[in-house]
């Protein structure tokens, strides 16, 4: 009886030691490889997601910077174009029953006058006392040159408006639109037959601007802005019969 109990205890102790050794063996090689593969897959997915987010953030920053530069340039051009034709002595160009002659606005010309162009030139008065003479500092314009928009500040003085280091201007277009208004209704006398100067006409002028730019950092980032500028100083031609 005692021998059987001893044998049973010995078998039980051997089984316990074998179970302990099995439990302490850890992961097999296959299990380890599977775990490493899963970890690498998760790390790769996370890296891809992070890289995509960084790339998207970079593109958004480039687009925002490009749009800001284009908007700033367009605002400067639009604001300056609205001054085209300003004349300090504009009353001299208005017909009245008491006037003996009507003077032409020396600052009235704006180019282009009909077809679209990649340059625009205009004038406006900067005299404190109007002398009706166009000075060298009263000539202005914008043009596209070597993928940069340049602005004219006086005769022959051209300066870069956009930064070639941050964006390439691929398109700068100025398209004029002229609407003529017949003013014969303001004349007290009928116009002579065949007259080329009567009736007087008012020209309502607008310029459609298109500015397209491309980022120098990433040439795939391209944006375009459109703006319509109404010239505030209308041109008047012709006159009523005296």
| Domains of the chain by residue range | 59-237
Written as six digits, the tokens of 213 are 């730019």
- Give the mean pLDDT of 17-30: 60
Question: Measuring CA to CA, how many Å separate 84 from each of 74, 88, 100, 176?
Answer: 16, 12, 27, 13
* Owner of token pair 């992961």: 27
Q: Judge whether residue 144 has pLDDT over 80.
A: yes
Q: Judge whether residue 11 has pLDDT over 70.
A: no
Please answer whether residues 184 and 174 qualify as being in contact, where contact means their C-beta atoms are separated by less than 8 angstroms.
Answer: no
- Give the mean pLDDT of 7-19: 56
- Give the mean pLDDT of 57-71: 85
Of the pLDDT bands very low, low, confident and very high (cuts 50, 70, 90), residue 234 is confident
> Which of 185, 148, 180, 154 is CA-nearest to residue 69?
148
Which tens digits make up the pLDDT trace of 154-189?
A: 888 899 999 998 899 999 999 999 998 888 887 888
**pLDDT at residue 214, as a whole number:** 92
**pLDDT at residue 41, as a whole number:** 82
Order of strands across the sheet that contains 139-145: 119-123, 139-145, 148-153, 158-160
- Give the mean pLDDT of 111-140: 87
Query: What mean pLDDT value characterizes the chain?
Result: 82
Measured CA to CA, the distance from residue 209 to residue 228 in angstroms comes to 6
């Amino acid at each position: 009886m005692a021998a059987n109990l001893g044998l049973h205890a010995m078998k039980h102790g051997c089984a316990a030691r074998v179970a302990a050794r099995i439990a302490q063996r850890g992961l097999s090689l296959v299990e380890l490889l599977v775990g490493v593969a899963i970890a690498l897959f998760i790390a790769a997915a996370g890296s891809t997601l992070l890289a995509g987010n960084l790339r998207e953030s970079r593109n958004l920053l480039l687009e925002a910077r490009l749009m800001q530069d284009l908007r700033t340039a367009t605002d400067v051009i639009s604001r300056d174009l609205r001054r085209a034709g300003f004349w300090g002595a504009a009353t001299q160009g208005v017909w009245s029953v008491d006037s003996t002659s009507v003077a032409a606005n020396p600052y009235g010309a704006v180019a282009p006058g009909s077809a679209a162009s990649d340059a625009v030139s205009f004038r406006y008065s900067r005299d404190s006392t109007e002398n009706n003479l166009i000075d060298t500092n009263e000539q202005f314009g914008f043009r596209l040159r070597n993928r940069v928009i340049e602005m004219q500040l006086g005769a022959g003085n051209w300066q870069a408006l956009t930064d070639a280091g941050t964006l390439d201007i691929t398109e700068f277009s100025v398209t004029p639109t002229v609407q003529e208004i017949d003013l014969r209704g303001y004349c007290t006398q009928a116009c002579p037959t065949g007259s080329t100067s009567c009736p007087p006409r008012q020209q309502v002028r607008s310029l459609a601007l298109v500015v397209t730019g491309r980022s120098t950092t990433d040439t795939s980032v391209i944006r375009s802005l459109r703006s319509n500028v109404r010239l505030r100083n209308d041109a008047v031609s012709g006159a009523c019969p005296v």
